[in-house]
Amino acid sequence: MIQPFQTVSAHSDLETYSAIIDVRSPGEFAQDHIPGAINLPVLNDQERIDIGTLYRENSYHARLKGAALVSRNIAHHIESRLVSEHTDFTPLIYCWRGGLRSHSMATVMKSIGWHVHLLEGGYRSFRKQVSLELQSLMTQSPFQLKVLAGLTGVGKTKLLKALKQLGAQILDLEGLANHRGSLLGEPHDGKQPSQKHFESQLWHKLKQLDPARPVYIEAESNRIGNLHLPSAFWSSLAHAEVIHIDMPIEQRIALTKTDYHHFLENPSALVERLQILRRIRGHKQVEHWESLIQEGLWDDFLHSILTQHYDLAYRGPGEEKSKYPAPKHYFTIPENENAHYLRIAADITELYS
């Protein structure tokens, strides 16, 4: 097929365009998409199903109905989301594999006079590129990973944000996964991304990092909620430098109470989450926790679950079966105050300046 517009490969710089437009259905877009892309579907989820079903019965009628639907949807996008674009608008358009959906949108946009580009091979080629580059980024140009380790409740995420505030490079894996990486870490304000979208976001973040500078991350297991770390990334953690963080138990309780305030506001949800621990910690222990929750004895409950569950499950860096090497540096945060985290963050960055 002769292309009336330029095509670009998935390994090109995809951030040079006015907009990256994903014309797949909203359901496909939600599963994964190029970071920064906007969704202007030429067929919505139901329309895509209907046309696919009709195509198996009568391909001509499917093309006829599909053309009408696609035309109406493209017109809607041009009259709404794209109506204010100027003559220098330079979009990159893609669908599943660079077929009819992206060509339909591109043809109309080019007739307007916009500088249209198509992603060769569509989303499928992008996904293949992500998988390849996640491997090469961690092996060919290894990052200077500095891992923040420590018991639950010491504020590793808070320290990570303090490091970012001071200009350090960070990689917030729990933020990308939308999960705190623990029993109580499930998102209360949404859901986790798909595995593919998690990997796309991780790829995007890694591409933005400078390998010549330290990159600070939290110690994680190879799974964060329902998601798993790519094997090349997980393997690289065995060579990372570990910084161990400690904090008095009273301060850990205070910080945990702040971080998981939504459970304090919805005790029944917390009790439900604890049921999974009956197999690990026993019925008697879980029933004790339930009674503390019912009585509103939050400090007692948090002290107990931190020391009788989280601390017992903690596998310290350098210990047997731990992925991480023994810590090279140790810091104690005396109080759960921002100033203390900023001071420790400054001390840490000084080590690698």
**Residue 95 catalytic?**
yes
- Selecting among 43, 51, 74, 95, the annotated active-site residue is 95
pLDDT at 172: 96
* H-helix or E-strand spanning residue 19: strand 19-22
Task: For the chain, give every domain's residue range.
Answer: 6-129, 141-351
User: Considering only the top CATH level, what class is 141-351?
Assistant: alpha beta
Per-residue pLDDT of the chain (353 residues; tens, 9 = 90+): 445 678 999 888 888 999 999 999 999 999 999 999 999 999 999 999 999 999 999 999 999 999 999 999 999 999 999 999 999 999 999 999 999 999 999 999 999 999 999 999 999 999 999 999 998 888 876 899 999 999 999 999 999 999 999 999 999 999 999 998 777 777 656 789 999 999 999 999 999 999 999 999 999 989 998 999 999 999 998 889 999 999 999 999 999 999 888 888 889 989 999 999 999 999 999 999 999 999 999 999 999 999 999 999 998 998 988 889 999 999 999 999 999 999 999 999 999 98
Q: Are 175 and 216 in contact (CB under 8 A)?
A: no
Residues in Cβ contact with 257 at an 8 Å cutoff, skipping those fewer than 6 apart = 264, 298, 299, 302
pTM of the predicted model as reported, rounded to 2 decimal places: 0.91
pLDDT at 189: 65
Q: Are 346 and 168 in contact (CB under 8 A)?
A: no
- The stretches of the chain forming alpha helices (DSSP H) are 26-31, 45-57, 59-79, 100-112, 122-139, 156-165, 173-177, 195-208, 231-236, 249-259, 261-265, 267-274, 278-281, 283-294, 298-305, 311-313, 338-351
* 6-129 CATH: 3.40.250.10
